[in-house]
Every structure is written in structure tokens, then in C-alpha cells.
Amino acid sequence: MSFWEHIEELRDRLKVVIFTVLLLFVVFMTLGVGTVTLAGVQIPMLVPAIGTDPASSQVFLALVALLKPSWVQLAAAHPWDGVLVQVETALFLAAAVGSPVIVYEAMAFIGPALRPSEKRLLAKMVAPISALFFSGVLLDLFILLPFTINFLYQAQRGMGITLYILFVGDFISFVLIHVLAFGVAFELPMVMYGLTSVGITRAATWTKHWRIVVAAIWFIAGMITPDPSGVTMILVGLILTGLYLLGVLTSKWAERRRAATRGPESAA
């Protein structure tokens, strides 16, 4: 294929991705989780958001119930904040639900440039990548974020403050960025595994420079956890260090598999 044919294919695949995300965005902005009665049984499903909140609002309210301390007041700084929160939440949901299409289109675009072994490697990595990402998101949502937000507000209660306000725009931006960053951070073992599997780096490289990597991990943990007690920094640091050690083990396993695979090929 010529350069312009590649550009044409990229444009077509981007159209599919954009259409998918926009369609899901409209769904989450106009439909909500409701119930439909069939044969006397109430079945939850997406229904038009008439007399009920759209899915974007329902997810936002669920996050508020999960993360906001009871004594903190939720507020809007501007008249348009409520709409922007729904838009931001709906876009995040659309990208998350549409991620299989996004991944498929990306793999289909780069597929012709890959060797058969690299295609098989990518196919094998899809499930672990998804599992690690959602594990990071769930761990952050149900353990780290509730602890962090509650601790930060508790630390202010001894300062004579009587009114605690959490603006909806600040809240949703902080939560979505935090969970996205933590989900991406959980991909560290797969990044290490992938780079070693294709021969870009060796497993020995990860073990040789472990001190530098661990120091960087703890520096990042301190930067992303605004907890003066250091408790959440320790939790995040331990988790990321554990992920790095897991990546070291998987990279060694990948290198052994690569050597075993290349052995028969060389003999042939």
C-alpha cells in the first residue's frame, strides 16, 4: 500500500471509532437504567430517560454515593456545571464501553505491518490487558479513592472549618483522571512482557535497573497521592512495586518462550 492508501485506511478506521463513541455518547445521555415488566417480572434495561435520570447522571450519582463523605455538601460553581458533568461522564463511559471497537480498529490498522508471531502475541495480550486495566480501576474506586478523599476531609476537621463544599466539576474530573491513571498504571506488567516478547528489551534490563525504577515508582506515588500522612502513598507505592515485580517475572517467562521458539526455527 502507498502512503496515501494508508492515510485513507486510517481515516476510514477513525470514522468507525468516532461514530461508535458518538453513538454510545448519545445513548448514555438519553437513556437510563430502568426496569421493564415482562410476565410480572421486572427486568433492568436501558430505557428512554423520561421521568428518570440518563445513565451519565446515574453513574455520577453512584460515584457521589460511593466517594463523598456524608458531611460534605455537593455544589455547582456555575449554571452549566451539571450539563458538563453529564457530558464528561458520558464521554468516559462511551470510550470505556467502545474500547473493544477502538482496540479492534487499531489492531486491524497495524496488523499488516506485524509478523504472524507478533499478531498472535497481541491477540494473547488483549484479555490480560483488559483484566489489569479494570482491576486497577476497581481497586482505585473501591479502596484508594474513598480512603484518600475521606482522609483529606478528615484532616481539615480540626481546623475550625464548619462548611465543606465539593464542586461537581472538580469532583468528576478528579475521579475520572484518577481511575484512568490507575488503570493505565496497572498495564505495567503487560508493557514489560510485550517489549521483552518482541525483543526490544531483555529481561535482564528490568532487573539491572530495578533500583532506579522503584525510586521512580515511589516518587510518582508521592506525586499522585495528596495525602500528608503518607498512607495512600505507601499503598500506591507497594501496589506499583508489586506490578513491576510481576512484570519482571513475566518478562523472564516471555524471554524463555522466545528462546524456545527461535531454537526450532533456527534448526529448521
Give Cα 139 to chain centroid, integer Å.
Answer: 11
Q: What is the pTM of this model?
A: 0.79
Alpha carbons 57 and 63: distance in angstroms, whole number: 10
pLDDT at 227: 63
Cell of 225: 497521592
**pLDDT tens-digit series, residues 58-77:** 999 999 999 998 889 999 98
Task: Tell me the pLDDT band of 147, cut-offs 50, 70 and 90.
Answer: confident
Pick the range with the lowest mean pLDDT from 70-79, 134-143, 237-246, 253-262. Answer: 253-262
pLDDT at 264: 53
Cβ-contact 129, 183 below 8 angstroms: no
H helix intervals, 43-167: 55-67, 81-97, 99-110, 116-139, 145-154
Q: Which of 1-5, 116-120, 168-172, 231-235 has the highest mean pLDDT?
A: 168-172
CB atoms within 10 A of CB 158: 7
pLDDT at 268: 47
Type of residue found at 151: F
Alpha carbons 83 and 41: distance in angstroms, whole number: 34
pLDDT greater than 70 at residue 54: yes
CA nearest to 121, candidates 224, 227, 263, 250: 250
**C-alpha separations of 208 from 195, 201, 219 in Å:** 16, 12, 19
Alpha carbons 221 and 107: distance in angstroms, whole number: 32
Cell of 82: 451539571
pLDDT greater than 80 at residue 50: no
